[in-house]
Amino acid sequence: MKASDLALFAGTALSGHRVRTALSLSGVAVGIAAVIALTALGQGAREYVVREFTAMGSHVLIVFPGKVETTGGGPIGGAPRDLTLEDFRAVVSRTPGIVAAAPLASGEETLRYGARNRAALILGTTAEFRQVRRVKMGAGSFLPRRDARQAGSEIVLGAKLARELFGPESPLGKVVRMGTWRFRVVGVMAPRGRAMGIDVDDVALAPIQTVMAAFNRTSLFRVFIEVRDKRLLPEVKERVTEMFRERHRAEDVTVITQDAMLSAFSDILNALTLALAGIASISLAVAGVGIMNVMLISVTERRSEIGLLKALGGTDRQVLLVFLAESGLLALMGGLAGLAVGLAAVALFTGLYPSFPASAPLWAVAASILLSLSVGIGFGLWPAWRATKLDPVRALTGR
């Protein structure tokens, strides 16, 4: 019996029970649509993160105070030593291969302009921050170049913050107040959205020395170091770590490459995608049980047909194939319908949120077809096997 003949014969059997076929088919369709939609979202999240990271420059080292223990147990001797501005200057000035480096300190405070005030995240940094973090300006200029230890009264506002403090007014040259401190707005950043968990549009940047004084900080929050060439990353990382060890007489800072963070995030999101796909496939198992149920009913109803097929010379194997083809076809049609629904849902989603690159990965599309087929065949096996076990005489005479 040829596969096309089997499929045709199964098709006629399925079209005889349209409602039943449609219902059990939709079970598979829902499962497959869920797999497609969820993996598309998971994959989209991964791609989004990757894109964000690459936008910020891929050969960047990030230093932060405290040692991340990978061998278990907490840091010994309490709080780590401060990561000071002096450390930053010393390390950066004596490490070759660095294009730009920027320290970062932060605090939250209310900014005031006239009668309006607004709480914002204030980041203290230097002019190099623009290069290291690929900041784009909407208006005015970035923080001026000067020695990191020198205070200054310039401030650069995020797009959203500027809009909410100043409304339609141009903020350039205006003075905003933060407690007793006064800053002059020199620039507004171009809108960018969230990056690395911070809404960049909602922050203000000011000279590092002034921010540390205003918030009474002794330690930097981060140091960003951009390396000239990606291949220099391990070397520079080694050198920076070594210099901090010498200065602090202990290994109490953590230096990571952006690549390492990226691949960690990527791994997490891949795992998340797989987990989502796994959860979605649970619904496929449910759909499979539905198919099994329908096929069992079908075998019971068609006892005399099975007897007839055997009387006409159909072998057990052929009878098995007839019913497997039926459940397989049922599930496959469900799978294709689910694929269509899933892809449509993803298209709708990306239509609503164009910045989120959700798209069903090819492996998920391929897997969903294979998965639905194997659900149909897997769950159809037992009913089909029962059909072959029917005694043709009893099946024909209805006994």
Positions that interact with other proteins (CB under 8 A): 1-2, 5, 9, 12-13, 15-16, 304-305, 307-316, 318, 392-393, 396-397
- Parallel, antiparallel, or unpaired for β 194-195 and 60-65? unpaired
- Give the integer Cα–Cα distance in Å for 113 and 377: 70
- Give Rg (Cα) of the chain: 32
Shortest Cβ 1–other proteins spacing (Å): 6
3-class SS of residue 356? coil
Shortest Cβ 302–other proteins spacing (Å): 9
Q: By C-beta, is 9 or 349 nearer to other proteins?
A: 9
Shortest Cβ 4–other proteins spacing (Å): 8
114: enclosing H helix or E strand? none
Shortest Cβ 6–other proteins spacing (Å): 9
Shortest Cβ 11–other proteins spacing (Å): 10
Shortest Cβ 13–other proteins spacing (Å): 7
Q: By C-beta, is 300 or 397 nearer to other proteins?
A: 397
User: Measuring CA to CA, which residue among 185, 160, 189, 196 is closest to residue 62?
Assistant: 196
* Amino acid, single-letter form, for residue 344: A
The values of phi and psi at residue 320, to 5°, are: -60, -45
Q: By C-beta, is 21 or 273 nearer to other proteins?
A: 21
- Give the integer Cα–Cα distance in Å for 39 and 285: 18
Q: By C-beta, is 65 or 392 nearer to other proteins?
A: 392
Q: By C-beta, is 229 or 301 nearer to other proteins?
A: 301
User: Measuring CA to CA, which residue among 377, 359, 331, 296 is closest to residue 48?
Assistant: 359
Q: By C-beta, is 173 or 398 nearer to other proteins?
A: 398
- Give the integer Cα–Cα distance in Å for 321 and 258: 55
